Structure 1
């Protein structure tokens, strides 16, 4: 009878150990699930934060691209206007040289002394402008985009 009692008591000790082990396992599983849930939440928050940052950077990129496009449009406009002005300068310079040559011919034929100034080549020597320099006026918000 002692051996039967010994087996029963050891069986109940085994059941208690198994129950304690099972309880630890259950607690560990719950803890792991909670940890995984927190990890997923952190990951989702990080992804949301990155998406918001990406959206902000995309909007900033659009603003910068608009400014670049506006500056490019201005540059193209000013460049084409500059080309027109250069063509006009060339045409007017040629006309002035022609008029000066006519005056030289008139001077030679008539014998009258005329004061015909020599024209500097403004494209080769821009510091020798044929007319006085005009002041350039600007405003404080001229370059605001």
Structure 2
């Protein structure tokens, strides 16, 4: 064999190998482009997820602030209710004392007095001591 035949019998000289090399190059280019698109898609997806995390953290913080404010308002109202209950019990005791004085005056004087019974708010919390008095509330009472 001559040296000229040796050179042309390699992959550079044979048209069949040139077609295979060309296909290989196109496939490599296509694979690189596909990998680039995949990386870009992944990067965009990660960016979207980061934005979503940020948005959800902000929303969580707002909800936590609202919960804290509502809890604080609840504690204030609960404390006020405790004070009002204590005052009601004290006033009920005073009223019972005054009624017993009226009973004594009624017995001593012989005059009939209309002494209403005092409802026990602990036994019947749904029964108001003064049923003719309306309790008004605003829709915004629980909003801060």
**What TM-score bracket applies, with the shorter chain setting the length?**
0.7 to 0.9
TM-score normalised by the chain length of structure 2: 0.80
| CA distance in structure 2 between the aligned counterparts of 1:142 and 1:119, rounded to whole angstroms | 30
Is contact 2:11–2:18 with CA below 8 Å preserved after alignment?
Answer: no
Q: For residues 9 and 71 of structure 1, do their structure 2 counterparts lie closer, same or farther at Cα, with a shift above 3 Å needed?
A: closer
| Counterpart mapping for 1:1-145 below 5 A | 7=5, 11=9, 15-16=13-14, 17-131=16-130, 132-139=132-139, 141-144=140-143
Q: Structure 2 regions of 5+ residues with no counterpart?
A: none
| CA distance in structure 2 between the aligned counterparts of 1:23 and 1:114, rounded to whole angstroms | 118
SS in 1 for 2:134: coil
SS in 1 for 2:13: helix
Q: Structure 1 regions of 5+ residues with no counterpart?
A: none
Q: Considering Cα pairs closer than 8 Å and 6+ residues apart, tell me whether 1 or 2 has the greater RCO.
A: 2
Count matched residues: 142
